[in-house]
C-alpha cells in the first residue's frame, strides 16, 4: 500500500511538471522574436532590446522575457518587476499614465504576449 502511494505521488508530481505555464521557451521560436513579429504584424513600431527584451515605440511598453513563467514570477518577488504585469514568461512594463491611444496599443501588446 505504501509503495502504491509513493508511486501515485511521483506520477502526480511529474504531471504537474508538464504544465504549459512552466514550459521553457522553445529554441525553434524564441519568445522575444515571436512577440516582436506579432507586435509588428499589428502595425506597431517595435524592436528587440538585447537577447530577452522588446521595446514598443520610443517610450512605450517594455517587455522582458524569462525562460519560464515561474522565473518571471520570481523576478517580481525579488523586486525586478515592480509595476510590471506578468503574462506567461514575460514581464510587461508600462508607463504610469496610459492615454486612450496607449490603452489600445497596450491591448495589442498584451494579446501578442498571451498568444505565446
Burial class from Cβ neighbours inside 10 Å (0-12, 13-18, 19+) for residue 11 reads exposed
Position 7 in a domain: no
**Could you list the residue range(s) of the whole structural domain that residue 92 is in?**
24-115
Position 4 in a domain: no
Position 76 in a domain: yes
Position 1 in a domain: no
Question: What's the confidence (pLDDT) of residue 11?
Answer: 35
Position 63 in a domain: yes
pTM, two decimals, is 0.73
Average pLDDT, consecutive stretches of 10 residues, N- to C-terminus, the chain (116 residues): 39 40 52 96 95 91 95 94 93 79 88 94
Position 5 in a domain: no
Position 8 in a domain: no
Total of domains in the chain:
1
Position 40 in a domain: yes
Question: What's the confidence (pLDDT) of residue 28?
Answer: 52
Amino acid at each position: 500500500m505504501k509503495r502504491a502511494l509513493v508511486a501515485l505521488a511521483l506520477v502526480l508530481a511529474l504531471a504537474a511538471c508538464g504544465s504549459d505555464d512552466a514550459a521553457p521557451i522553445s529554441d525553434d521560436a524564441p519568445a522575444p522574436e515571436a512577440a516582436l513579429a506579432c507586435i509588428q504584424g499589428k502595425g506597431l513600431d517595435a524592436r528587440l532590446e538585447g537577447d530577452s527584451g522588446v521595446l514598443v515605440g520610443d517610450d512605450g511598453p517594455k517587455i522582458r522575457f524569462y525562460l519560464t513563467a515561474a522565473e518571471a514570477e520570481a523576478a517580481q518577488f525579488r523586486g525586478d518587476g515592480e509595476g510590471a504585469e506578468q503574462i506567461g514568461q514575460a514581464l510587461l512594463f508600462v508607463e504610469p499614465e496610459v492615454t486612450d491611444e496607449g490603452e489600445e496599443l497596450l491591448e495589442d501588446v498584451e494579446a501578442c504576449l498571451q498568444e505565446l
